[in-house]
Amino acid sequence: MTEDRTSFEDRLRAAQTRVAGKQPAEQQPDSEDKSILALAARAGSEMLGGLIAGVLIGWGLDRWFHYRALFLVVFALLGGCAGILNVWRLVKPPGTDERES
């Protein structure tokens, strides 16, 4: 009976903090990845996405400024870096957050 009462009060407090607009402190920055499958489905395309974005932007700038392939080369490299950065952001252990984004 007492346990029921404490659990109810815990829940009440949790509900009150929620309504007050304050999240309980135990929320982790990376708690979004509940499903490991969702994580696995993301990793490859995050890397590819960076590279493709870089290649597209480089190609577009080349067309715009009539350079041969300067921007394409530079932005493909930067895009690859961005892709690796995306994957690192995805898989990094919690607590190594360099910034609060």
Check residue 49 for interaction with other proteins (CB under 8 A). yes
Asked if 72 touches other proteins (CB under 8 A), the answer is no
Task: Provide the token pair at 4.
Answer: 């029921």
- Establish if 82 lies at the interface with other proteins (CB under 8 A): yes
Q: What is the largest CA-CA distance in the chain?
A: 78
Backbone φ and ψ of 28, nearest 5°: -85, 150
Could you say which of 3, 4, 26, 100 contacts other proteins (CB under 8 A)? 100
- Binding part of the chain for other proteins, among 3-11, 35-43, 65-73 by CB under 8 A, reads 35-43
* Site membership for other proteins, residue 86 (CB under 8 A): yes
**Interface with other proteins, residue 15, by CB under 8 A:** no
* 17-49: b (≥16 Cβ within 10 Å) or e: eeeeeeeeeeeeeeeeeeeeeeeeebeeebbee
Cα–Cα–Cα angle for 36, 45, 53, rounded to 5 degrees: 145
- Which residues of this protein are in contact with other proteins, per CB under 8 A? 18, 21, 23, 31-32, 35, 37-38, 41-42, 45-46, 48-50, 52-54, 56-57, 75, 78-79, 81-83, 85-86, 89, 98-101
